[in-house]
Amino acid sequence: MCFVFFGCSQKNTTPPDIAANAVVPSARQLQYQQLETIGFIHFTINTFTDREWGYGDEGEQLFNPTELDVEQWVKTAKAGGLKELILTAKHHDGFCLWPSAYTEHSIKNSPYKDGKGDIVREFVEACRKHGLKVGLYLSPWDRNRPDYGKPEYITYYRNQLKELLTNYGEINEIWFDGANGGDGYYGGANESRKIDRKTYYDWETTWAMAKKIQPDIKIFSDKGPDVHWIGNEHGFAGETFWSMLTTDSLQVGSFKTDYLNTGDPEGRDWVVGQCDVSIRPGWFYHKAEDSLVKQPQQLMDIYYKSVGRNAILLINLPPDRRGLIHEDDVRSLTAFKQIIDDTFADNLLATAKSTASNTRAGAEKFKVENLKDENLETYWATDDSVTTATLTMNWEAPQTFDRLLLQEPVQYGQRVSAFHVEVQRGSGWETIATGTTIGYKRILRFEPVTTTALRIHIDKANNTIALAGVGIFKASTRETH
Ligand code: FUL
């Protein structure tokens, strides 16, 4: 109610949202980033030959899963908290998991369902049934094709891409791998072929074609344009990680790994970072690796170094010769999800009294209480051009915690480049953690502390400060013991 006092109309006017940085995510990148954890399915003829890279001369009859159950893959992924699954529709050996009209080297000449099967179709249907998004991997390198290295192969490759993007409904992500050229069967030539990475694939034309067929698709490669490789296959983003790159400076297959691992604070393009890693040493199933499945604690470490560093975590779950994800992998992934659920169940911020050194125009809309949820639309912000600030949390009774989660409303761009965290000890303050970037999500780990007060200092930012979420947690004992 405000009709008497002079000036009160001004006080009641909500100040504008913070101004966006020059480089921000597209709406589809923003949605994609919020998937956080997704899965890979590496399955093909390699599963039956015990290899990682098929040479391209493998007979189609080798592909013969005896108990294939695509729903088991999808249910496993779901129980592991994964929001999307990406299937190797074709790996480097060239064998296609769908009956492509453009080759005989496919499932249609295998014993699987007497040549009537289509695993891409089974896969997309199962994903949709269980609410998972669908991704497909179509290897650009094809060691089976006689025309690999010639212009005709590019037509073949685009025809296959068109089949996959036209006949299987909505595809959320398409994965363009960077491994390229080398020795192979190549229709019997049995030789080594080199291609010019810069010109051979003419990626711009292929990407434009993909977007024309599927406008919302996210294109993955070492240089994006929507999602980029993190520069290693261990699942780790850099300790400092920006969601920006200058993609003009990159080339698919050029592997500028350090640059991809940290991103670029001056980068001109927003490209979401994606950390791929296999739950086993190899990407394909090998019986000899049954004892080497990553334990839930190892997966948690990877989670903190990927999702906890502003990137997507892509975990590979390779089905075995039965066509099932092995029991040990299922157990480990499920326990991993339980640890995440336990650790992040109880945000101690809920019971804290929080204050900020500055709140944008003193307005309700930008209050510190907005930090209590992970909704990017509700955020705390400072006045324009304030690039240092302190948030203080106080509790009546001492609290014990060892994880701190921070989020920026990245729809306005990524800003923070330095922060530190203190807790009250007696009459003084002690620094327990320091960090650089935050981005969509940053999670810090430190030794458990028991205290009645916590301070988060934002020490450096490239624009007005804004945070969308703060979480203060005690890690599940299943992770720490
Ligand atoms: C790499 C490939 O060479 C591996 O076989 C695997 O598919 C991995 C995800 O990407 O570049």
Domain boundaries, the chain: 27-343, 348-480
Q: 284 alpha carbon to ligand 1 midpoint, in Å?
A: 10
Tokens linked to 57: 């001369």
CA 224 – CA 433 distance, rounded (Å)? 32
Q: Say yes or no to pLDDT of 402 above 90.
A: yes
- Residues forming a β-bridge with 445: 403
Q: Percentage of the chain with pLDDT > 70? A: 97
**223 vs 26, 243, 326, 473, CA distance in Å?**
16, 12, 33, 35
Which residue owns the Cα nearest ligand 1 atom 11?
179
Which residue owns the Cα nearest ligand 1 atom 8?
283
Sorting pLDDT into bands at 50, 70 and 90, what band is 7?
A: very low
Sorting pLDDT into bands at 50, 70 and 90, what band is 179?
A: confident
Confidence at residue 8, expressed as pLDDT on a 0 to 100 scale: 43
Confidence at residue 293, expressed as pLDDT on a 0 to 100 scale: 98
CA 236 – CA 215 distance, rounded (Å)? 30
Mean pLDDT of 425-435: 96
Q: Say yes or no to pLDDT of 262 above 80.
A: yes
In CATH terms, are 27-343 and 348-480 the same topology?
Answer: no
Confidence at residue 178, expressed as pLDDT on a 0 to 100 scale: 87
Confidence at residue 251, expressed as pLDDT on a 0 to 100 scale: 87
Q: 237 alpha carbon to ligand 1 midpoint, in Å?
A: 18
| Span 28-57, pLDDT tens digits | 999 999 999 999 999 999 999 999 999 999
Mean pLDDT of the chain: 96
Buried b / exposed e along 418-428 (16+ C-beta atoms within 10 A): ebebbbbeeee
CATH code reported for the domain at 27-343 = 3.20.20.80
Sorting pLDDT into bands at 50, 70 and 90, what band is 481?
A: low
- Residue 421 contacts residue 388 (beta carbons within 8 Å): no
Mean pLDDT of 470-474: 98
Tokens linked to 305: 């170094």
Which residue owns the Cα nearest ligand 1 atom 7?
283
Q: 329 alpha carbon to ligand 1 midpoint, in Å?
A: 19
Sorting pLDDT into bands at 50, 70 and 90, what band is 3?
A: very low
CA 206 – CA 360 distance, rounded (Å)? 45
Q: Which of 264, 324, 332, 327 is nearest to 303 (CA)?
A: 332
Index of the ligand 1 atom closest to the CA of residue 42: 7
CA 206 – CA 7 distance, rounded (Å)? 59
Q: 116 alpha carbon to ligand 1 midpoint, in Å?
A: 28
Q: Percentage of the chain with pLDDT > 90? A: 93
Q: 177 alpha carbon to ligand 1 midpoint, in Å?
A: 7
- Residue 69 contacts residue 26 (beta carbons within 8 Å): no
Confidence at residue 5, expressed as pLDDT on a 0 to 100 scale: 40
Which residue owns the Cα nearest ligand 1 atom 10?
177
Index of the ligand 1 atom closest to the CA of residue 276: 9
| Span 221-253, pLDDT tens digits | 999 999 999 999 999 999 999 999 999 989 888
Q: Which range among 178-182, 196-200, 304-308, 338-342 shows the weakest confidence by mean pLDDT?
A: 178-182
Q: 181 alpha carbon to ligand 1 midpoint, in Å?
A: 13
Q: Which residues line ligand 1 (CB under 6 A)?
A: 52, 177-179, 276, 283
Sole residue written with tokens 């791998």: 177
CATH architecture, range 348-480: Sandwich (2.60)
Q: 176 alpha carbon to ligand 1 midpoint, in Å?
A: 10
Residues 6+ apart with CB under 8 A from 152: none
Pocket probe mutation, ligand 1, options 38, 141, 283, max atoms within 8 Å of Cβ: 283
Confidence at residue 15, expressed as pLDDT on a 0 to 100 scale: 86
Q: 466 alpha carbon to ligand 1 midpoint, in Å?
A: 38
Sorting pLDDT into bands at 50, 70 and 90, what band is 418?
A: very high
Index of the ligand 1 atom closest to the CA of residue 88: 7
Predicted TM-score (pTM) of the model is: 0.96
Mean pLDDT of 399-415: 98
Which residue owns the Cα nearest ligand 1 atom 6?
283
Sorting pLDDT into bands at 50, 70 and 90, what band is 255?
A: confident
Q: Say yes or no to pLDDT of 11 above 60.
A: no
What angle, rounded to 10 degrees, do the helices at 119-129 and 70-79 form?
40
Q: Which of 182, 230, 225, 177 is nearest to 201 (CA)?
A: 177
Tokens linked to 253: 């297959």
CB-count exposure of residue 211 (10 Å: 0-12, 13-18, 19+): middle
- Residue 317 contacts residue 73 (beta carbons within 8 Å): yes
Q: Say yes or no to pLDDT of 191 above 60.
A: yes
- Residue 120 contacts residue 87 (beta carbons within 8 Å): yes
- Residue 272 contacts residue 228 (beta carbons within 8 Å): yes
**DSSP conformation class of 96:** B
Looking at per-residue confidence, does 7 or 170 come out higher? 170
Q: 433 alpha carbon to ligand 1 midpoint, in Å?
A: 36
Sorting pLDDT into bands at 50, 70 and 90, what band is 1?
A: very low
Index of the ligand 1 atom closest to the CA of residue 40: 9
Strands (E), 165-271: 173-175, 182-184, 191-193, 218-221, 227-229, 244-245, 269-270
